[in-house]
Amino acid sequence: MNEFQEWKNVCKAKQIVKVLNQRHFKASYVATRKEAKEKLIGMLEEGASVAIGGSTTLSEMGMVEVLRNGNYQFFDRYQKLPFDPDIVDIHRQSLTADYLITGTNAITKRGELVNTDCTGNRVAPMIFGPKNVIIVAGVNKIVDTLDDAFKRIREIAPMNSKRIKHETPCAETGFCVDCDCKKRICNFTTIIHNGIKFEGRIKIIIVAEDLGY
């Protein structure tokens, strides 16, 4: 990335932080994923219960290993357990966590958080349950409008389906066909318009880099 692209990313990141704070989220800016990781770890209290949403961003930051090896009560959704009922039970326990850490599929320039889930175990606790929600997002998640957010989600769906090894049409063709199959990953879509109901609960770290899909 050249210096002009870096400069543009910084401007873009700082602007969305301003918008998100106006929307009653608690947003902050960092320049790099390394800084984001340090900031995120600093926001967690030792001994706290922590859940994590499925997120390529957090995987790229190595947060699963941090939580497994740290002094936390970690609801580890990445354990090699049968999906039903063991992993589903972890998803349910996650609703009571002190912290939910996750990424987001898209952020509009108006400051709306847009997400689509397969099971709902990420979008549900983003809305209600855990005492604190910490979202990490790169500038590649910023889009102009809600329509652009939905378009972005459709475009990244094949990669996500391939990543989690779901046998869906998009994992074969590389593009969304709005399928009607058991393994479909796009089942629940949410829009968080603002953070005013529980002000300060949703904290967002914006990184002036591309992160995740």
Three-class HEC string of 61-92: CCHHHHHHHCCCEEECCCCCCCHHHHHHHHHH
Residue 212 in domain: no
Span 5-57, pLDDT tens digits = 999 999 999 999 999 999 999 999 999 999 999 999 999 999 999 999 988 99
pLDDT at 172: 87
- Strands 202-207 and 26-30, by their bridges, are parallel
Percent of the chain's residues with pLDDT above 70: 97
Residue 152 lies in a domain: yes
pLDDT at residue 161 greater than cutoff 90: no
Res 102: pLDDT: 97
CATH number, domain with residue 115: 3.40.50.10420
Backbone angles phi and psi of 101, in degrees to 5 = -110, 130
CB 106 within 8 A of CB 98: no
Q: What is the structure's pLDDT at 160?
A: 84
pLDDT given for residue 202 in this prediction: 98
Look at residue 145 and tell me if it is in a domain. Answer: yes
What pairing do the DSSP bridges indicate for beta strands 132-138 and 113-117? unpaired
The span from the first CA to the last CA of the chain, in angstroms, equals 18
| 210: helix, strand or coil | coil
Residue 213 falls within a domain, yes or no?
no
Sign of CA dihedral 90, 91, 93, 97: positive
Identify the residue with better confidence: 198 or 179.
198
Max CA separation in the chain (angstroms): 50
Q: What is the pTM of this model?
A: 0.94
- The answer, yes or no, to whether residue 81 has pLDDT greater than 70, is no
Domains of the chain: total:
1
Within-domain flag for 52: yes
